[in-house]
Structure 1
């Protein structure tokens, strides 16, 4: 993460320091103690004690014992009060409900609702869509859903399991395993939970100190260049052992995969080991000349190691924000180098039995769309690049269309939103949800993004843990978890990002595991002869999805047999009006009226 999100306005933090000035003190010379010619205190005390009678001595002795006891108790109390404040017991914390991911539950019609205020959070209501018989006309229809007009397949919605996020979740597991299990059930259930997560291959700006790679003892910088003909010798000390990946991230992801075995994991490097880079450090710099093949082997070896540890990657990006050379783990990488690395990485993955792992290029801001197009066009024949990933910090989602228009004839690439963060606390949760929808979910959805992945899944109330050099001192997580450094009560807070993930996941659930297919975005247009007031359209926004119940692809909707359902539909609607709007929906010609309350609602139903 490099630049702060536009969602809540820019803010940031810095770290400053300096050396004090003054006289230099030396502690080398031994001080000379003065010589006293007075009577030693020990002898005076003994003489005084001998003058006292027995009862007085007993009184003095008792007072001395009381004084010692008081001193001991005072020290104990002081030590107790001086301890860092412990975060509260999380045993009874609230966790939003979720449904089972079996076929029966997934096909149940109803809606999830999140109110503007913090009283109703992703609340489920079972309700029939009550679709009428087929009608060819659109008189009085507000939204026309047409599942024959399909757009991008949906790979999922989620957030990044950074080292910081995994550390906090692992700490929760240690403190209160029952709450941890409930939180993980909500976050990673296979019906409404996180479907895609991004993890850091080595340290990022949201890792714990110190920085790390998977080669603890790096080769000599000068000698490394002489060993390029034997890359394995440069990587012989490769290991995940003792890293934050093995201590926190992988164990938490293994728990997540138990809940959703189809969870898609994206591996993203912030920086390779310093000896591979121009500046011999993890911060900034570029890849050294001749090190493309070594880097490809390092990445592929990491993917293999993660797989053996129980977390098989679904995709890998070539480099996080290659245009950003920062004072934390980062590396610059131009388009030609990304082209070379993509080809080499594909080859190395295939040799390790990981040929189906996708390789994504760019992984940077919208504003760099020309570089993304250059990479894809150069790789058009090699097909080494499977997708292009964008970040939200510079430029605008509309530049995705410019990227697509710049591709060579008959060339297309999948598009993903791989990172975006909220910063600070919005005035209220509803304003935060609206900001995310306006700046991210609505526009990237209509520009064919197959996934939306937020930044940290969890941080503490101090926007931590993070490296001291991290640019973002106010990034928020999907969850806020209490920590010893920054305690809060309740222990877990569910932020706007988490509920957005749940709403969009619920609408676009992949039915492959229950005999159906992957969800796709479908046409959902404003009706020409609508029944709503003209002013109502100013405060209504939506996206629609559909997934086949049987088989991998949507079939033609039936206008005759209304009893034989063959698709599941999901409609995410935001109402920023001050009252409920009764919206007439046409689902492939079959109508119903949906009461859309102020807030965010996801409707789901089945249809012929």
Structure 2
């Protein structure tokens, strides 16, 4: 058993703790034994990775509130594959989101003015905190892929005249596509390559207290097909375009965009705030050549107790990956002791970050989301391929084969009782043990 590496989470006091085989509770009975069978011959999607977002709030807390020693240690624990949990996907807002200290875009001009030549475009805001952290993350893990999503275009491009509410003016489709190009180019000048963008975060939700915009499927298809993709081609950009970027409960939206925009779209991005992850698979079955990505899911006080919250990340993460997703990305990388900072007028946030940075004490705390994410990200490396594994509503499983041929299996006991589990790979028993209720285990077999 020397070729096994095992990490287990078993309650709030034991989170992502490495175990030796002899430390596991042995299972000597075959009664009610659940057999999890791994078949590496049956393969599915290639994995890009796991991560979260350097929102303006997160970047400020990590870059300015933590001291240099704390920041260095945290970044290693987030991104280094050996010293940390090896996060490898970052999905950042293009401008302000709900988690920003101010309203801002990359082309803010006085009310009543326009700038169709984008002469006043600048990513100067991001140079303070966001870009330095992205560079540091890439130095720790060069395999990181960067995604970007706008919550709102600049106010002058919108029918509302504000970053809150409204739609994109028809006369601004072309300049908004050029805005994306300038963003990608500006980041490239900083040594940062943008792997993919979405045209609009949560295009069907128009919040009244933070940046957002309505972008119906026919409008999104038009924007991608006739403006965004042609501009990418004109400027020689290979950045991918993912549509939708919203909840599982409206699979008709991405299907409509794919039906219309076709080859201009590279994939579909999903969130978890409504519906079920099987929607990802349903759309993927209709368009199997399009990538599937899970780009946002936040934990928060609406699932306050430890066990339900931890279970939610493990259960949902496994199902996201079993439904074709190449990525699993949570929301804020860091929030403070008040679940902020948030944009002015937002009110009180109930979201939870991957880490908590107390602005008063400077104390850094890893939340349950960090440890739950670690069960996936630590050993499932970029370019791993998902392989077949038996799974049910008692013992949920998902398995992968890395490029070094190591096999990673993530198990979660979703029942309220201890359960005997036998893990079999290629006809050989790997482990037989008792997995405690609501506990998770990651097994790496070299």
Q: TM-score, normalised by structure 2?
A: 0.89
Inter-partner Cα distance in structure 1 for 2:372 and 2:259: 34
Name the larger-Rg structure: 1
- Match of residue 146 from structure 2: 265
Inter-partner Cα distance in structure 2 for 1:471 and 1:165: 18
Inter-partner Cα distance in structure 2 for 1:411 and 1:580: 38
- Are the aligned partners of 2:421 and 2:435 in contact in 1 as well (CA < 8 Å)? no
Q: What's the offset of the Cα at 1:469?
A: 3.1
- Match of residue 221 from structure 2: 339
Q: What's the offset of the Cα at 1:218?
A: 5.0
Inter-partner Cα distance in structure 1 for 2:393 and 2:244: 35
Q: Secondary structure at the match of 1:493?
A: strand
- Match of residue 240 from structure 2: 358
- Match of residue 602 from structure 1: 442
Inter-partner Cα distance in structure 1 for 2:253 and 2:412: 35
- Match of residue 191 from structure 2: 310
Q: What's the offset of the Cα at 1:358?
A: 1.0
Q: What's the offset of the Cα at 1:271?
A: 0.9
Cα distance change, pair 584–597 in 1 and its aligned pair in 2 (3 A): closer
Q: What's the offset of the Cα at 1:206?
A: 0.5
Q: What's the offset of the Cα at 1:172?
A: 3.8
- Are the aligned partners of 1:520 and 1:547 in contact in 2 as well (CA < 8 Å)? yes
- Match of residue 11 from structure 1: none
Cα distance change, pair 428–246 in 1 and its aligned pair in 2 (3 A): same
Q: What's the offset of the Cα at 1:542?
A: 1.6
Cα distance change, pair 452–472 in 1 and its aligned pair in 2 (3 A): farther
- Are the aligned partners of 1:429 and 1:495 in contact in 2 as well (CA < 8 Å)? no
- Match of residue 46 from structure 2: 153
Inter-partner Cα distance in structure 1 for 2:104 and 2:393: 50
- Match of residue 356 from structure 2: 480
- Match of residue 98 from structure 2: 205
Q: Secondary structure at the match of 2:264?
A: coil
- Match of residue 522 from structure 1: 387
Give the number of aligned pairs: 429
Inter-partner Cα distance in structure 1 for 2:431 and 2:350: 42
CA RMSD of aligned residues (A): 2.5
- Match of residue 232 from structure 2: 349
Cα distance change, pair 150–270 in 1 and its aligned pair in 2 (3 A): same
- Match of residue 17 from structure 2: 123
Q: Secondary structure at the match of 1:464?
A: coil
- Match of residue 541 from structure 1: 396
- Are the aligned partners of 2:89 and 2:144 in contact in 1 as well (CA < 8 Å)? yes
- Match of residue 22 from structure 1: none
2:166 is equivalent to residue 285 of structure 1: yes
- Match of residue 264 from structure 2: 384
Q: What's the offset of the Cα at 1:379?
A: 1.9
- Match of residue 249 from structure 2: 367
2:284 is equivalent to residue 393 of structure 1: no
Inter-partner Cα distance in structure 2 for 1:114 and 1:425: 22
Inter-partner Cα distance in structure 2 for 1:193 and 1:389: 22
2:181 is equivalent to residue 300 of structure 1: yes
Inter-partner Cα distance in structure 2 for 1:455 and 1:367: 19
- Map Cα deviations across residues 22-46 of structure 1 (whole Å, 9 max, x no partner): xxxxxxxxxxxxxxxxxxxxxxxxx
Give the unaligned 5+ runs of structure 1.
1-106, 129-139, 511-517, 527-536, 550-566
Q: What's the offset of the Cα at 1:578?
A: 7.5
- Are the aligned partners of 1:575 and 1:596 in contact in 2 as well (CA < 8 Å)? no
Cα distance change, pair 473–253 in 1 and its aligned pair in 2 (3 A): same
Inter-partner Cα distance in structure 2 for 1:159 and 1:324: 21
Inter-partner Cα distance in structure 2 for 1:289 and 1:584: 59
Q: Secondary structure at the match of 1:291?
A: helix
Q: What's the offset of the Cα at 1:318?
A: 0.6
Q: Secondary structure at the match of 2:251?
A: helix
Q: How does 1:554-565 map to 2 (within 5 A)?
A: none
Q: What's the offset of the Cα at 1:213?
A: 1.2
- Match of residue 6 from structure 1: none
Q: What's the offset of the Cα at 1:583?
A: 2.9
Q: Secondary structure at the match of 1:142?
A: strand
- Match of residue 4 from structure 2: 109
